[in-house]
Amino acid sequence: MNIRDLKAETGDTIKLNVTYEPENATLKEYEYTKIGDIFMKDNKGNIIAKKDGISKITIKHKTQKLIKSIVIKVDAKKKEEVKENNDVKEENTSNNEPEIKNIDGLTYVNGILIVNKTYSLPKDYDPGSLSVDAKNAFDEMQNAAKNDNIKLWIASGYRSYSLQTNLYNSYVLKDGKTKADTYSARPGHSEHQTGFAMDLNIIDSSFEGTPEAIWIEKNCYKYGFIIRYPKGKEEITGYKYEPWHVRYLGKELAEKVYNTGKTLEEYLNITSKYSE
């Protein structure tokens, strides 16, 4: 039992897109066990988004011991947008303080789930796979690249906390903690655990400058991704240049970040440093 990603606005009836394995399962029924304070149940049992914010909904299978949760961001219902002629306002500048919220151990900065050296994930946070939106976006990008005679594949997608622990510890044994921290995230600090990050093709410095790396850098934002650890930004992101590591943000936000030429840390005005 899995829940696909969901977006909502105030007033929307929340309809979870729940998938089951195997697909021919005979009983596909669930019930709500917990809904956040931004939701309400109407007299028919429907879940309604009553106000904007970020909160969690938890469901369980009616007969099996299966429990799943999804964090949903509810946006305020959009009023008619007013566009000012030739006046583009930057949403996030170095003069603005970011809105940081911690919900069930997850850190959201201006509504964006953030994981870096400053902000971590709980050990038990386990979406189990890549986000459906991120995987669909990659498939779209992969097909577009193919049309340009560029072959892309996912070398490393979702990683659990325990897998990241094993990887990080092996790098520490090999290179020492100081060097390992420049290219590998400590457990709980890896974007791969979110299900929104992936490493493409070749995960080493030989990938830099290849036709595939150049294509990704110039085009990935069109499909909702950014190069998460750009060249020359090591002191800001905390990691060496990784032309293979992309993070899914959605097309609109990815294009905004790309057009600023900033890292996600710079765009949101946040840090990426371990406390010790």
**Comparing C-alpha atoms, which of 54, 40, 60, 69 is closest to residue 103?**
54
Edge-to-edge strand order for the sheet containing 7-9?
A: 7-9, 67-75, 53-61, 30-35
Q: Which residues are marked as active site?
A: 242
3-state SS assignment for residue 55: strand
**Angle at the Cα of 14 from the Cα atoms of 8 and 18, rounded to 5 degrees:** 110
- Give residue for tokens 């909702």: 224
CA 97 to chain centre: 21
Name residues whose C-beta falls within 8 Å of residue 182's C-beta, 6 or more positions apart in sequence. Answer: 234, 238, 239, 240
Work out the number of other CB atoms within 10 angstroms of the CB of residue 146.
11
Contact 167, 184 (CB under 8 A): yes
